[in-house]
Structure 1
Amino acid sequence: MTTVQAIRTFFFYLLLSSSSFFWCILCVFIAPLLPFRARYRLVIQTWCRCATWLAKVMVGIRYEVHGLENIPQQPCVILAKHQSTWETFFLSAFFEPLSQVVKRELLYVPFFGWAMAMLKPIAIDRSNPKAALKQLAKQGAERIEQGAWVLIFPEGTRIPPGQIGKFSRGGTALAVNSGLPVLPIAHNAGEFWPKQGWAKYPGTIQVVIGPLMYAEGEGPRAIAELNERAFNWVSQTQQQISGIPTQLSPLDEPSAV
């Protein structure tokens, strides 16, 4: 990373953190007065759009979206590749309203966590996988009935470019049991916003929204088959985007969802 890019990255983080702090303080007092959809637009969508805009103008991270025609009119379960923080910002702004599976500990962070708690996240305890799966099944179905998309990173953690983590079956189980399809999403955000370190590299992120995938039947076998199809599509699409053979990550961590 050049000296100029390092300076731009420093100011990017300065603006991002300061805007997050003041925005969360403001939203803690205003958001409770708003209905859920308006609350989501204020707290999450507006700030996440600001974050992706800052990434564009400050460090040169742009993006292109392919497959918009695959997005259904009704919310469903989104299974997205996880490489960086960028896709969390992007997807939270792009799909509205959206309920995301997060670590329960995040809700305890002053102001940021308090603001997030008002947006109906599915906050799980990753140390208790069985309880987390039951919670995802129950609350995920509730969120979809309430008209929200449910975002799941099935790898459970951020995986570097060129690698892919095993997909947990929590997302496909939710889709099958709710009678809904899954919407797979692949991207290469990690090439410009790496998992490790604070460096940011200019370039254009390719986001590919895949075709809706429906289960063939019901029960555990249908869940496993749908999960494998989603995994294969994301893996193959990642390779097409990056031109790097996608390998199963040796850093893969077990995850309930």
Structure 2
Amino acid sequence: MQALRITLFYLLLSLSACLWCLISLVVAPLLPFHQRCRFVVQAWCRSSVWLTRVMLGIRYEVKGLENVPQRPCVILSNHQSTWETFYLSAQFAPLTQVLKRELLRVPFFGWALALVRPIAIDRSNPKVALKQVAKQGDERLKQGAWVLVFPEGTRIPPGQIGKFSRGGASLAVNAGLPILPVAHNAGEFWPKEGWGKRSGTIQVVIGAPMHAQGEGPRAIAELNERAFAWVCEQQTAMRGAAPQMASLAEPI
């Protein structure tokens, strides 16, 4: 029965994505940037979170919504699955995110995604990617958009955590804005590998905004380490054990 529900879920998710991307390609270019983000991304992601709950029984509880500042800033979140991308894109708008540029080449989906000006990087060239994140991220923040960064650079299984790149912390410090840390355990129910899903309740914790203590490389490193420590602490509370460091290449 669960296999049938998962198959039906992916079928509905794919059909909704195709339909919404086609509509977005026609409507979105006529809208201002903020409205375009809400139309293209937020609306579909909200429907995806709803579909996940109804079809798969994957619910969520959020703590710390009172910590969300009124002014958009840099969101740093651990990355375990696709679910948190849906949730965070539905919760924060207008939002842009750092992603691999290959996604923009996906027919319809990538074309619609390009309309909301994501920061599409070439992960094979980290130095160029970091400069791109700094430049385009600052532009998006000045436009009043949230910037979502997964500092681990890739999805990491539950019980592990990847090294945090300093790109998000650097962007926040240089823009004079805080980091909004987010921790969750979505990978427990939506694994990184395969189609399998498990019903249950995802825990999401939004921390208090973290401000840099000073400027320059030292302040960036300290802020990044503080965000990493906070996410580790939340992961430990969720699983009852400290996460192990994942063995990965240097993230963006």
TM-score range, shorter chain: over 0.9
Bigger shift: residues 83-92 or 236-245: 236-245
- C-alpha separation in 1, matches of 2:100 and 2:85: 14
Task: Give the whole-Å Cα distance in 1 for the aligned partners of 2:225 and 2:162.
Answer: 12
Tell me, yes or no, if structure 1 residue 217 matches structure 2 residue 214: yes
Q: How does 1:168-183 map to 2 (within 5 A)?
A: 168-183=165-180
- Corresponding residue to 1:106 among 103, 106, 125: 103
Q: Which residue of 2 aligns with 1:135?
A: 132
The TM-score normalised by the length of structure 1 is 0.96
**Deviation per CA, 1:66-108, whole angstroms, max 9, x where unpaired?**
0011110100100001000000000001000001001111111
1:27-66 deviation line (CA, Å, top 9, x unaligned)? 1111111111221111111110110001000000000110
Tell me which of 197, 201, 225 is aligned to 2:198.
201
- Listed as ranges, the matches of 1:1-16 within 5 Å are 4-16=1-13
Helix, strand or coil for the counterpart of 1:183? strand
Q: How much has 1:164 moved relative to structure 2?
A: 0.2
| Gapped regions of structure 2 (runs ≥ 5) | none
Q: Give the partner amino acid of 1:255.
A: P
Pairs within 5 Å for 1:47-58: 47-58=44-55
TM-score of the two chains, using structure 2 as the length reference? 0.98
Q: Which residue of 1 aligns with 2:41?
A: 44
> After TM superposition, which residue ranges in structure 1, 4 or more long, deviate above 4 angstroms?
none
Q: Do 2:163 and 2:251's aligned partners in 1 also have CA atoms closer than 8 Å?
A: no
- Alignment equivalent of 1:68, drawn from 42, 65, 68: 65
Contact 1:168 1:255 in 2 (8 A): yes
RMSD: 0.8
- Rounded Cα–Cα distance in structure 2 between residues aligned with 1:34 and 1:211: 33
3-state SS, counterpart of residue 64 of structure 1: strand
1:119 CA displacement: 0.1
Name the structure 2 match of 1:184.
181
3-state SS of paired residue (1:100): strand
- Tell me if the contact between 1:154 and 1:169 (Cα under 8 Å) persists in the aligned partners: yes
After TM superposition, give the deviation of residue 241 of structure 1 in Å.
1.4
* Count of aligned residue pairs for this structure pair: 252
Q: Cα offset for 1:5?
A: 1.3
Instruction: Say which of 79, 86, 90 aligns to 1:89.
Output: 86
- In the alignment, what sits opposite 2:160? 163
Q: Sequence identity of aligned pairs in percent?
A: 68
Mapped to 2, the partners of 1:62 and 1:253 lie a distance apart of 32
What SS does the corresponding residue of 1:24 show, helix, strand or coil?
A: helix
Q: Which runs of 5+ in 1 are unaligned?
A: none
Alignment deviations for residues 84-139 of structure 1 (CA, whole Å, 9 cap, x no partner): 00000000010000010011111111111110001010111111111111111111
Q: Answer yes or no: is the 8 Å Cα contact 2:236–2:242 preserved in 1.
A: yes
CA distance in 1 between counterparts of 2:30 and 2:223 reads 40
SS of the residue corresponding to residue 209 of structure 2 reads coil
**C-alpha displacement of 1:158:** 0.2
* SS of 1:245 mapped into structure 2: coil
Return the letter of the residue paired with 1:12. F
CA distance in 2, matches of 1:253, 1:46: 34
On the 8 A contact 1:9/1:58 being kept in 2, the answer is yes
Q: CA deviation at 1:253?
A: 2.8
